[in-house]
Amino acid sequence: MKKLLIPIFSVAVLVSCGTSKVSNNISKPTAPVATVAKGDKAFLVAYKTITADDLKKNLYVIASDEMGGRDTGSPGQKKAGEYMINYYKTLGISSPKALGSYYQKVPADFMKKRGGGNLPDSENILAFIEGSEKPNEIVVVSAHYDHVGTKNGVVYNGADDDGSGTVGVMEIAKAFQSAKKAGNGPKRSILFLHVTGEEHGLFGSEYYTDNPVFPLANTVVDLNIDMIGRDDPENRGKQYVYVIGSEMLSSELKVINEAANKRTNNLELNYRYDDPNDSERLYYRSDHYNFAKNNIPVAFFFDGIHEDYHKPTDKPDKIDYSLLEKRTQLVFATAWEIANRTERIVVDKKQ
Protein backbone atom coordinates (compact mmCIF):
# COMPACT_ATOMS: atom_id res chain seq x y z
CA MET A 1 0.00 0.00 0.00
CA LYS A 2 1.14 3.51 -0.79
CA LYS A 3 2.73 5.15 2.23
CA LEU A 4 1.09 8.37 3.38
CA LEU A 5 3.63 11.16 3.62
CA ILE A 6 1.47 14.21 3.00
CA PRO A 7 -2.20 14.60 2.06
CA ILE A 8 -2.40 12.78 -1.26
CA PHE A 9 -5.30 14.36 -3.05
CA SER A 10 -7.49 17.37 -2.74
CA VAL A 11 -10.87 15.72 -2.99
CA ALA A 12 -14.49 16.43 -2.44
CA VAL A 13 -16.01 14.85 0.64
CA LEU A 14 -17.80 11.65 -0.26
CA VAL A 15 -21.05 11.10 1.56
CA SER A 16 -22.43 7.62 2.12
CA CYS A 17 -25.44 6.33 3.96
CA GLY A 18 -26.85 3.11 5.32
CA THR A 19 -25.15 0.96 7.94
CA SER A 20 -22.55 2.32 10.32
CA LYS A 21 -18.98 2.40 9.05
CA VAL A 22 -17.21 2.63 12.40
CA SER A 23 -18.38 -0.46 14.25
CA ASN A 24 -16.05 -3.44 14.55
CA ASN A 25 -19.07 -5.70 14.43
CA ILE A 26 -20.73 -7.18 11.38
CA SER A 27 -23.42 -4.73 10.43
CA LYS A 28 -26.88 -5.97 9.61
CA PRO A 29 -27.73 -5.90 5.90
CA THR A 30 -30.04 -3.02 5.08
CA ALA A 31 -31.71 -4.75 2.13
CA PRO A 32 -32.33 -8.30 0.93
CA VAL A 33 -29.86 -9.75 -1.54
CA ALA A 34 -30.17 -12.80 -3.73
CA THR A 35 -27.51 -15.38 -2.88
CA VAL A 36 -26.78 -17.41 -5.96
CA ALA A 37 -24.04 -19.28 -4.13
CA LYS A 38 -26.02 -20.48 -1.13
CA GLY A 39 -26.23 -24.23 -1.35
CA ASP A 40 -24.60 -24.09 -4.77
CA LYS A 41 -22.34 -27.10 -5.22
CA ALA A 42 -20.40 -25.44 -8.04
CA PHE A 43 -19.55 -22.52 -5.77
CA LEU A 44 -18.50 -24.75 -2.89
CA VAL A 45 -16.24 -26.91 -5.04
CA ALA A 46 -14.50 -23.82 -6.48
CA TYR A 47 -14.31 -22.11 -3.08
CA LYS A 48 -12.48 -25.06 -1.56
CA THR A 49 -9.70 -24.86 -4.16
CA ILE A 50 -8.43 -21.75 -2.33
CA THR A 51 -6.00 -23.14 0.22
CA ALA A 52 -3.45 -21.85 2.67
CA ASP A 53 -0.86 -24.25 1.26
CA ASP A 54 -1.17 -22.89 -2.28
CA LEU A 55 -1.15 -19.30 -1.08
CA LYS A 56 2.01 -20.02 0.90
CA LYS A 57 3.71 -21.78 -2.01
CA ASN A 58 3.19 -18.81 -4.34
CA LEU A 59 3.98 -16.17 -1.74
CA TYR A 60 7.34 -17.73 -0.88
CA VAL A 61 8.24 -17.18 -4.55
CA ILE A 62 6.68 -13.73 -5.06
CA ALA A 63 8.22 -12.35 -1.83
CA SER A 64 11.56 -14.15 -2.08
CA ASP A 65 14.91 -12.36 -2.00
CA GLU A 66 15.27 -13.38 -5.66
CA MET A 67 12.62 -10.80 -6.57
CA GLY A 68 14.66 -8.01 -4.96
CA GLY A 69 11.68 -6.28 -3.38
CA ARG A 70 9.80 -5.88 -6.71
CA ASP A 71 10.38 -2.15 -7.15
CA THR A 72 8.51 -0.66 -10.09
CA GLY A 73 10.14 -1.65 -13.38
CA SER A 74 13.01 -3.48 -11.69
CA PRO A 75 14.37 -6.83 -12.89
CA GLY A 76 12.98 -8.46 -9.74
CA GLN A 77 9.50 -7.15 -10.39
CA LYS A 78 9.68 -8.39 -13.98
CA LYS A 79 10.78 -11.79 -12.72
CA ALA A 80 7.80 -11.90 -10.37
CA GLY A 81 5.57 -10.96 -13.30
CA GLU A 82 6.96 -13.81 -15.38
CA TYR A 83 6.18 -16.24 -12.56
CA MET A 84 2.59 -14.98 -12.39
CA ILE A 85 2.09 -15.23 -16.15
CA ASN A 86 3.44 -18.79 -16.20
CA TYR A 87 1.02 -19.61 -13.41
CA TYR A 88 -1.91 -18.32 -15.46
CA LYS A 89 -0.72 -20.16 -18.55
CA THR A 90 -0.49 -23.40 -16.58
CA LEU A 91 -4.08 -22.94 -15.43
CA GLY A 92 -5.22 -22.24 -18.99
CA ILE A 93 -6.24 -18.66 -18.16
CA SER A 94 -5.56 -16.37 -21.10
CA SER A 95 -4.82 -12.70 -21.44
CA PRO A 96 -7.53 -10.36 -22.77
CA LYS A 97 -7.95 -10.78 -26.52
CA ALA A 98 -8.20 -7.01 -26.97
CA LEU A 99 -4.77 -6.60 -25.37
CA GLY A 100 -3.09 -9.48 -27.16
CA SER A 101 -0.76 -10.03 -24.23
CA TYR A 102 -0.70 -10.43 -20.46
CA TYR A 103 1.27 -7.16 -20.34
CA GLN A 104 -0.08 -3.63 -20.43
CA LYS A 105 2.93 -1.33 -20.64
CA VAL A 106 2.95 1.60 -18.21
CA PRO A 107 5.42 4.07 -19.76
CA ALA A 108 8.06 5.86 -17.74
CA ASP A 109 6.85 9.20 -19.14
CA PHE A 110 3.37 8.59 -17.76
CA MET A 111 4.74 8.00 -14.28
CA LYS A 112 7.25 10.86 -14.45
CA LYS A 113 4.51 13.39 -15.24
CA ARG A 114 2.75 12.26 -12.05
CA GLY A 115 5.74 12.49 -9.75
CA GLY A 116 7.32 9.14 -10.59
CA GLY A 117 10.82 10.56 -10.91
CA ASN A 118 13.10 8.38 -13.01
CA LEU A 119 11.14 5.14 -12.79
CA PRO A 120 11.66 2.91 -15.84
CA ASP A 121 8.91 1.52 -18.02
CA SER A 122 6.85 -1.08 -16.19
CA GLU A 123 3.85 -3.30 -16.82
CA ASN A 124 0.44 -4.14 -15.47
CA ILE A 125 -0.34 -7.85 -15.79
CA LEU A 126 -3.83 -8.89 -16.90
CA ALA A 127 -5.42 -12.33 -16.95
CA PHE A 128 -9.00 -12.86 -18.10
CA ILE A 129 -11.87 -15.33 -17.93
CA GLU A 130 -14.70 -14.54 -20.33
CA GLY A 131 -18.23 -14.67 -19.01
CA SER A 132 -20.68 -17.21 -20.37
CA GLU A 133 -23.80 -15.00 -20.50
CA LYS A 134 -22.75 -11.37 -20.02
CA PRO A 135 -19.19 -11.32 -21.39
CA ASN A 136 -19.17 -7.55 -21.93
CA GLU A 137 -19.74 -6.86 -18.23
CA ILE A 138 -16.43 -6.96 -16.35
CA VAL A 139 -15.75 -7.77 -12.69
CA VAL A 140 -12.23 -6.62 -11.73
CA VAL A 141 -10.24 -8.31 -8.97
CA SER A 142 -7.08 -6.27 -8.40
CA ALA A 143 -3.88 -6.10 -6.38
CA HIS A 144 -0.55 -4.35 -6.87
CA TYR A 145 2.48 -6.58 -7.29
CA ASP A 146 5.18 -3.95 -6.83
CA HIS A 147 6.88 -3.12 -3.54
CA VAL A 148 9.70 -0.77 -2.53
CA GLY A 149 12.73 -2.73 -3.73
CA THR A 150 16.17 -3.06 -2.11
CA LYS A 151 17.70 -0.35 0.06
CA ASN A 152 21.36 -0.31 1.12
CA GLY A 153 21.65 -3.93 0.09
CA VAL A 154 18.65 -5.03 2.18
CA VAL A 155 15.68 -6.59 0.38
CA TYR A 156 12.24 -5.30 1.36
CA ASN A 157 10.31 -8.47 0.49
CA GLY A 158 6.80 -7.03 0.80
CA ALA A 159 5.20 -10.34 1.73
CA ASP A 160 2.08 -8.70 3.09
CA ASP A 161 2.37 -5.47 1.06
CA ASP A 162 1.25 -6.66 -1.39
CA GLY A 163 2.47 -10.16 -1.93
CA SER A 164 -0.57 -11.34 0.02
CA GLY A 165 -2.97 -9.56 -2.34
CA THR A 166 -1.04 -10.76 -5.37
CA VAL A 167 -1.29 -14.43 -4.45
CA GLY A 168 -4.88 -13.90 -3.34
CA VAL A 169 -5.82 -12.75 -6.84
CA MET A 170 -3.97 -15.73 -8.29
CA GLU A 171 -5.93 -18.15 -6.08
CA ILE A 172 -9.24 -16.48 -6.90
CA ALA A 173 -8.42 -16.88 -10.60
CA LYS A 174 -7.69 -20.57 -10.01
CA ALA A 175 -11.05 -21.01 -8.29
CA PHE A 176 -12.99 -19.38 -11.13
CA GLN A 177 -11.05 -21.38 -13.70
CA SER A 178 -11.78 -24.64 -11.89
CA ALA A 179 -15.48 -23.78 -11.99
CA LYS A 180 -15.26 -22.96 -15.69
CA LYS A 181 -13.56 -26.27 -16.46
CA ALA A 182 -16.40 -28.03 -14.64
CA GLY A 183 -18.93 -26.23 -16.83
CA ASN A 184 -19.80 -23.57 -14.26
CA GLY A 185 -17.88 -20.54 -15.46
CA PRO A 186 -18.95 -17.05 -14.37
CA LYS A 187 -21.80 -15.34 -16.22
CA ARG A 188 -19.87 -12.07 -16.28
CA SER A 189 -16.24 -11.78 -17.30
CA ILE A 190 -13.53 -11.56 -14.66
CA LEU A 191 -10.39 -9.46 -15.11
CA PHE A 192 -7.52 -10.36 -12.77
CA LEU A 193 -5.56 -7.12 -12.69
CA HIS A 194 -2.07 -6.96 -11.18
CA VAL A 195 -0.98 -3.34 -11.23
CA THR A 196 2.45 -1.77 -10.99
CA GLY A 197 3.65 1.50 -9.50
CA GLU A 198 1.24 1.56 -6.56
CA GLU A 199 3.92 2.34 -4.00
CA HIS A 200 5.10 5.38 -5.97
CA GLY A 201 1.66 6.85 -6.65
CA LEU A 202 -1.03 4.38 -7.80
CA PHE A 203 0.42 4.69 -11.30
CA GLY A 204 -0.56 1.31 -12.74
CA SER A 205 -4.21 1.54 -11.80
CA GLU A 206 -4.36 5.13 -13.00
CA TYR A 207 -2.86 4.09 -16.31
CA TYR A 208 -5.37 1.26 -16.65
CA THR A 209 -8.37 3.50 -15.94
CA ASP A 210 -7.00 6.13 -18.33
CA ASN A 211 -6.37 3.43 -20.97
CA PRO A 212 -8.86 0.68 -20.17
CA VAL A 213 -8.70 -2.60 -22.04
CA PHE A 214 -12.44 -2.90 -21.44
CA PRO A 215 -14.73 0.17 -21.37
CA LEU A 216 -15.11 1.60 -17.90
CA ALA A 217 -18.83 1.87 -18.59
CA ASN A 218 -18.88 -1.94 -18.74
CA THR A 219 -16.86 -2.38 -15.54
CA VAL A 220 -19.19 -3.56 -12.80
CA VAL A 221 -16.94 -3.41 -9.73
CA ASP A 222 -13.35 -3.42 -8.51
CA LEU A 223 -12.58 -5.71 -5.59
CA ASN A 224 -9.12 -4.58 -4.53
CA ILE A 225 -6.83 -6.56 -2.23
CA ASP A 226 -3.93 -4.76 -0.57
CA MET A 227 -2.43 -6.46 2.52
CA ILE A 228 -4.55 -9.34 3.82
CA GLY A 229 -1.97 -11.65 5.39
CA ARG A 230 -1.33 -10.14 8.84
CA ASP A 231 -3.09 -8.47 11.75
CA ASP A 232 -2.57 -5.07 13.30
CA PRO A 233 -2.01 -4.41 17.02
CA GLU A 234 -5.62 -3.35 17.53
CA ASN A 235 -6.94 -6.69 16.24
CA ARG A 236 -4.18 -9.08 17.26
CA GLY A 237 -5.41 -12.66 17.06
CA LYS A 238 -8.85 -11.75 15.70
CA GLN A 239 -10.53 -13.24 12.63
CA TYR A 240 -11.25 -9.97 10.87
CA VAL A 241 -10.68 -7.86 7.80
CA TYR A 242 -11.06 -4.14 7.17
CA VAL A 243 -13.46 -3.33 4.33
CA ILE A 244 -13.28 0.15 2.84
CA GLY A 245 -15.46 1.89 0.26
CA SER A 246 -18.10 -0.79 -0.25
CA GLU A 247 -21.06 1.58 0.10
CA MET A 248 -19.56 4.76 -1.32
CA LEU A 249 -21.10 4.34 -4.77
CA SER A 250 -23.54 1.44 -4.56
CA SER A 251 -26.22 0.60 -2.01
CA GLU A 252 -25.85 -3.10 -2.94
CA LEU A 253 -22.15 -3.89 -2.76
CA LYS A 254 -21.76 -3.78 1.01
CA VAL A 255 -24.89 -5.90 1.43
CA ILE A 256 -23.56 -8.47 -1.04
CA ASN A 257 -20.17 -8.60 0.67
CA GLU A 258 -21.71 -9.00 4.12
CA ALA A 259 -23.99 -11.78 2.89
CA ALA A 260 -21.01 -13.53 1.25
CA ASN A 261 -19.10 -13.25 4.52
CA LYS A 262 -21.97 -14.60 6.59
CA ARG A 263 -22.35 -17.72 4.47
CA THR A 264 -18.60 -18.48 4.41
CA ASN A 265 -16.05 -17.80 7.17
CA ASN A 266 -18.06 -15.12 8.98
CA LEU A 267 -15.07 -12.88 9.63
CA GLU A 268 -15.42 -9.72 11.67
CA LEU A 269 -15.86 -6.97 9.07
CA ASN A 270 -14.25 -3.87 10.47
CA TYR A 271 -15.35 -0.50 9.05
CA ARG A 272 -13.06 1.72 11.10
CA TYR A 273 -11.36 3.23 8.02
CA ASP A 274 -14.46 3.27 5.84
CA ASP A 275 -14.67 7.04 5.78
CA PRO A 276 -13.12 9.45 3.26
CA ASN A 277 -12.41 11.84 6.12
CA ASP A 278 -10.53 9.34 8.27
CA SER A 279 -7.11 10.70 9.22
CA GLU A 280 -5.30 7.75 7.59
CA ARG A 281 -7.12 8.48 4.29
CA LEU A 282 -7.02 4.81 3.33
CA TYR A 283 -9.86 5.21 0.85
CA TYR A 284 -7.43 7.16 -1.35
CA ARG A 285 -4.28 5.11 -0.77
CA SER A 286 -4.71 2.00 -2.87
CA ASP A 287 -5.65 1.15 -6.43
CA HIS A 288 -9.42 0.90 -6.00
CA TYR A 289 -9.54 4.70 -5.80
CA ASN A 290 -8.76 5.09 -9.50
CA PHE A 291 -11.86 3.03 -10.23
CA ALA A 292 -13.99 4.83 -7.65
CA LYS A 293 -13.17 8.25 -9.09
CA ASN A 294 -14.61 6.89 -12.37
CA ASN A 295 -17.87 6.00 -10.57
CA ILE A 296 -17.17 2.26 -10.44
CA PRO A 297 -18.19 0.63 -7.14
CA VAL A 298 -15.24 -0.64 -5.12
CA ALA A 299 -14.44 -2.64 -2.03
CA PHE A 300 -10.93 -2.54 -0.57
CA PHE A 301 -9.85 -5.47 1.65
CA PHE A 302 -7.06 -4.69 4.11
CA ASP A 303 -5.51 -6.01 7.33
CA GLY A 304 -4.28 -2.76 8.89
CA ILE A 305 -0.95 -1.05 9.59
CA HIS A 306 1.28 -3.49 11.45
CA GLU A 307 4.79 -3.18 12.84
CA ASP A 308 6.48 -4.54 9.68
CA TYR A 309 4.72 -2.23 7.23
CA HIS A 310 7.27 -0.91 4.69
CA LYS A 311 10.12 -2.55 6.59
CA PRO A 312 12.51 -5.33 5.53
CA THR A 313 10.87 -7.52 8.16
CA ASP A 314 7.69 -7.89 6.06
CA LYS A 315 8.59 -11.49 5.19
CA PRO A 316 6.55 -14.55 4.18
CA ASP A 317 7.28 -16.44 7.42
CA LYS A 318 5.23 -13.84 9.32
CA ILE A 319 2.05 -14.35 7.31
CA ASP A 320 -0.99 -15.94 8.95
CA TYR A 321 -1.81 -18.31 6.10
CA SER A 322 -5.04 -19.59 7.62
CA LEU A 323 -6.38 -16.05 7.87
CA LEU A 324 -5.05 -15.23 4.40
CA GLU A 325 -7.03 -18.20 3.10
CA LYS A 326 -10.25 -17.03 4.77
CA ARG A 327 -9.93 -13.47 3.52
CA THR A 328 -9.18 -14.66 -0.01
CA GLN A 329 -12.21 -16.92 0.12
CA LEU A 330 -14.35 -13.94 1.15
CA VAL A 331 -13.24 -11.90 -1.86
CA PHE A 332 -13.90 -14.90 -4.11
CA ALA A 333 -17.38 -15.40 -2.64
CA THR A 334 -18.17 -11.72 -3.19
CA ALA A 335 -16.86 -11.81 -6.75
CA TRP A 336 -18.82 -15.01 -7.47
CA GLU A 337 -22.06 -13.40 -6.33
CA ILE A 338 -21.51 -10.25 -8.39
CA ALA A 339 -20.43 -12.20 -11.45
CA ASN A 340 -23.41 -14.56 -11.38
CA ARG A 341 -26.38 -12.53 -10.16
CA THR A 342 -29.10 -11.67 -12.66
CA GLU A 343 -28.78 -7.90 -12.50
CA ARG A 344 -25.65 -5.80 -12.51
CA ILE A 345 -25.10 -4.08 -9.16
CA VAL A 346 -26.47 -0.57 -9.10
CA VAL A 347 -24.47 2.66 -9.02
CA ASP A 348 -26.87 4.88 -7.12
CA LYS A 349 -24.54 7.18 -5.18
CA LYS A 350 -22.19 9.93 -6.34
CA GLN A 351 -18.91 11.27 -5.04
- Residue 11 scores a pLDDT above 70: no
Cis previous bond, 109, omega within 30: no
- Residue 10 scores a pLDDT above 70: no
> Which is it for the CA torsion 257, 47, 322, 331, positive or negative?
negative
What is the DSSP secondary-structure string of 3-31?
A: --SS-----PPP---SS-SS-SSPPPPSS
pLDDT in tens, 258-305: 999 999 999 999 999 999 899 999 999 999 999 999 999 999 999 999
Going by C-beta distance under 8 Å and a sequence separation of 6 or more, which residues neighbour residue 16?
Answer: 247, 248, 349
Q: How confident is the model at residue 172 (pLDDT cuts 50, 70, 90)?
A: very high
CB-neighbour burial class of residue 202 (10 A; exposed 0-12, middle 13-18, buried 19+): buried
From 1-10, 94-103, 221-230, 269-278, the region with the lowest mean pLDDT: 1-10
Specify which residues 104 forms β-bridges with.
Answer: 124
Centre a 10 Å sphere on the Cβ of residue 74 and count the other Cβ atoms it contains: 20
Q: How confident is the model at residue 31 (pLDDT cuts 50, 70, 90)?
A: very low
- What pTM did the predictor assign? 0.91
Q: How confident is the model at residue 193 (pLDDT cuts 50, 70, 90)?
A: very high
Share of the chain above pLDDT 90, in %: 87
pLDDT in tens, 43-83: 999 999 999 999 999 999 999 999 999 999 999 999 999 99
- Residue 138 scores a pLDDT above 50: yes
> Which is it for the CA torsion 257, 239, 24, 11, positive or negative?
negative
From 28-42, 114-128, 218-232, 233-247, the region with the lowest mean pLDDT: 28-42
- 38-340 CATH fold: Aminopeptidase (3.40.630)
Q: How confident is the model at residue 1 (pLDDT cuts 50, 70, 90)?
A: confident
